[in-house]
Amino acid sequence: MRGPHNIIRLIRTGATLERTGAMTVILDAFEAPKLMRVVLRALVWPVQWLGEKGDPSMPPATRALSALGPAYIKFGQILSTRPDVVGDELAVHLRVLQDKLPPFSMVKARESVHDALGLPVSEIFDSFSESVAAASIAQVHRARLKTTGEDVAVKVLRPGIERAFQRDIDAFYLAADVIEFLSPASRRLRPRDVIRHFEGVVQGELDLRLEAASASEFAANTKDDDGFRLPEVKWNLSGRRVMVMGWAEGVALGDNAALDAAGHDRHALGERVLQLFLSHALRDGFFHADMHQGNLKVAANGDIIAYDFGIMGHIDEYTRRVYAEILYGFIQRDYKRVAEVHFEAGYVPADQDVDAFARALRVVGEPIFGMDASQISMGRLLSYLFEVTERFGMETRTELILLQRTMVVVEGVARSLSPNLNIWDVAKPIVGDYIQQSIGPKALARDMAKTARVLARFGPRLPGMVEAALVRQSLPPAPPRPQRRFWRPALWLVGGVALGAGGVALALSQ
């Protein structure tokens, strides 16, 4: 689907923002420089008639993003959690994008259920309500099972959503190419890789069987977490375009007035949301990567209920340790160690000055210690962080995009619940506990024991591998082949690690 039509799509994007009045609102929210405003308005004003009109009853930004399509709606959902960046008024308007979009018809919803499950709705459910929540990709209906009388949530993908998302993704790829061409400095941010990562995430969200699997794994990981629960997946009633789960009864986490009326402690809820995310990310390496207010409820007993598991994040053990060390370094105000971790992980080019980077990080950390969230301008902080990444030649790490994005969203949710929340105080016990369990002598011993167990499976083959290597070494040199360049060093590395791990394993067994 790549082609010139994507140019028209991008033109229509700018035209829609101008036609709906969203251009002015967004530029004001981000405090855009006057020159940028003049240039953008000069470019899009003559072609604004090409833009979508949208729903006139909606505020400008919500009207524009909902008219442009699902990928743009996802972007609006992220911004809705950041009133400190876009302002309180725009954040409230954009929150509609989380689960209050116009639904598709009941006829199409019933047809989708019939096609997916092979039976008419009336034969599966005693009742099947109108849409109770409609988001960018799917909508949810409340129903009651004929067999058990249990209330359930029936999630149904929007008709044609796959094609609509692909259309937006293709346009984003073109935009990335244009940005890289016009601004070579932007290539360190790897815009095409970012879009490719986003595309992979979205493709997973468009298959509800994968969402059901994620929900099941997430439930197994978090079954012992106090104050947190998930609805149960009904596997026999779930397919690629329809998924059925237990009904989550509670107050929406984004409705502060209702939370107050129900007697819930919003400050405690904000702390728990942040700590749960950190715990899932660090402890399990598997976390809910779409934790905005529209996907969270609070039960009558105060438990937080999460749902909508279309976007889940996974990070390996090494990355979790790097992330934890960076967070803990900030908490301890040890900026030199934070800088060293960035260099050790390869996040900063080796030719940069570690001490200069540490000083730049101090500028980030020092102003926010001892302050609650209401005193911190996240907009200015993010702007400075961008300057730091540019100054030190840091490239975008696609493996961390989902983690970083979710951290921003979750911290925004916590702020919306309690503006005076101090994120460092909340994070300290979770990060500190992970550091204690995962970094130190005991953790090193466990790692070496794991390595020994893995290498033990190759033990019978090691003599043959070494003998084959020696035979090859005695033969006349063959024409150089790129794929062999790292073979001998890799072999000696395996042998050396095997001997070292064997020694550690022997010592541990005594």
Catalytic residue set: 290
CA 259 to chain centre: 26
> Tokens 């660090």 belong to which residue?
282
Nearest CA-CA partner of 214 in 226, 205, 224: 205
d(CA 84, CA 15): 27
Contacts 24+ apart (CB under 8 A), 223-226: 225/276, 225/279
Buried b (16+ CB within 10 A) or exposed e, 411-428: bbbbbbbbbebbbbebbb
CA 316 vs CA 6, 287, 468: distances in Å: 36, 12, 34
d(CA 32, CA 22): 14
- The DSSP call for residue 45 is G
Identify any residues that bridge with 251 across adjacent strands, giving them in sequence order. Answer: 298
List the end-to-end C-alpha distance of the chain, in Å, as a whole number: 63
CA 83 vs CA 26, 228, 371: distances in Å: 13, 26, 18
Nearest CA-CA partner of 322 in 336, 346, 341, 350: 341
Phi-psi region of 298 (alpha: psi -120 to 50; beta: other; left: phi over 0): beta
8 A C-beta contact, residue 40 and residue 18: no
Please report which helix (H) or strand (E) contains residue 298, including its range: strand 296-298
Contacts 24+ apart (CB under 8 A), 228-233: 228/272, 228/276, 228/303, 228/304, 228/305, 228/306, 229/299, 229/303, 229/304, 229/305, 230/305, 230/306, 230/307, 231/153, 231/305, 231/307
Tokens at 484, concatenated: 């062999």
> Tokens 């947190």 belong to which residue?
228
